[in-house]
Amino acid sequence: MERARKPTALATTPGLPPQPQVTLTDSNARLTATLPTGESIDILLHGATILSWKDAAGRENFWLSDAAKLDGSGAARGGIPIVFPVFGTSDGHGAEKLPQHGFARNSRWEFLGKSTSEAAKEGVKLDFGLSSQNLSDDVRAQWPYTFGLLYSVTLDRGSLNTTLVVTNDGDVPFEFQTLLHNYFRVDDIEKVTVKGFEDAPYVDKADQFKTKTQAGAVTFAGETDSVYTPAQGPGHPLVIEEDGKPRFRIVRDNLEDAVVFNPWVDKARSMGDFEPKDGWKKMLCVEPGSVSKWQTLEKGDAFEAAQTIYLV
C-alpha cells in the first residue's frame, strides 16, 4: 500500500573538510605535520628541533647538515635548534657549568598535543614541553633551577610561527638567555642580502668581538658571526633576499636581538657535524633572540617571545 506522505530522506551530513595530518615516527622520536594544502614540517623530539619546513610545492626552506645528529646523541645542526638558558657559554649568571647554548636543544621534549591554528583553520598548532623534572641529574646539577618551557609551533599556509614561554616554577629567581637558531636554505649565499639591520649596533664575533654599526643591508663575502640589536625594534621585519628577490620575512616578538651567521670555508671545515663541507654556500642563519643581556625571572613569573617567518 502506497503511503500518502512518505518520510523525507534525512539530510546528508556534509563531510568534514580535509584536516592537517600529524604522525609520530621513529619510535615516537619524530613528528611530521602536513596541511591539506601540502605544507609540512618535521620535528625531532630531541631538542624539539624543527628539521624541515616545506612549502606547498615541496620546496625546502631549512638547511640541515648531512651529518646532523638525529639519534639523540647530540644537538642537530640545522633547522631550528632552541637555545636556552645561555647563548654561547657564560662565566656567570648561574650558567657557567652549562655546555654551549645550554641544554634545551639537547634534551628530550614531550609532545603535548595539537590544535587548530587560530590564524587559519587549515593550519595546525603543535605544543611541546620541557621542565626541570625532564632533565638528567647531571644537567640539574649544572643548572639547579625549577622551570617550565612551553614551545608552540604553528604551521599555516605561507608562514611558520614558533613561540617560547619560560616560567619560573621555583622559589629562587634565575637569569637566562634564549634564541631561535634558524638555519635557512638558500641557493647561493653570495647573492643573499638581509635587510632590516640598517643603523643597528652589533658585535662582530668574527672580528675580535668589535662593536660596530651596520651600514645598509647585510651582505656575505666571508665568515659572518654577528649579534645585532636592530635599531627599529622587534616589530620591524628582517627580510632575506636572494638575487634581489625577497625569500623570507621574519617578524620578532619580545626578541630584541638577532644573530647572523655563516661559517664560510675554514670554519665549516673545522666543524665535525657540518656536511657537506661546502654547505656554507647553501645556508644562512638569521636567529632572533634575547642574548645581548640577561632576562631575570622571579618566582612565579613568565617570559614569552616568538617569531613568525613568512614566505615571500
In tens, the pLDDT along 93-102 reads 999 999 999 9
Per-residue pLDDT, 233: 92
Question: How confident is the model over 26-37, as pLDDT tens digits?
Answer: 888 999 999 999
307 marked as binding residue: no
Cell 624539539, residue? 48
**Adjacent-strand bridge partners of 176:** 295
Catalytically annotated residue among 39, 122, 181, 242: 181
Per-residue pLDDT, 15: 64
Cα three-residue angle 153-150-160, rounded to 5 degrees: 15
Which helix (H) or strand (E) covers residue 269, if one does?
helix 264-270
Q: Active site includes 287? A: yes
Per-residue pLDDT, 14: 60
Report yes or no: 271 and 238 within 8 Å, Cβ to Cβ: no
Residue spans of alpha helices (H) in the chain: 137-142, 264-270
- Which grid cell sits at 283? 645556508
269 marked as binding residue: no
21-311 folds as: Beta-galactosidase; Chain A, domain 5 (2.70.98)
- What are the 10-residue block averages of pLDDT along the chain, 312 residues in total? 47 69 92 97 98 97 98 96 97 96 97 86 94 95 97 97 98 98 98 97 97 97 97 94 97 98 98 98 98 97 98 96
Per-residue pLDDT, 18: 86
**Burial of 167 from C-beta contacts in 10 A (0-12 / 13-18 / 19+):** middle
Catalytically annotated residue among 39, 122, 241, 287: 287
Per-residue pLDDT, 197: 97
77 marked as binding residue: yes
Q: Read off φ and ψ for residue 128, nearest 5 degrees.
A: -130, 150
- At position 281, the amino acid (one-letter code) is K
Mean pLDDT of the chain: 94
Which helix (H) or strand (E) covers residue 137, if one does?
helix 137-142
Q: Global pTM?
A: 0.93
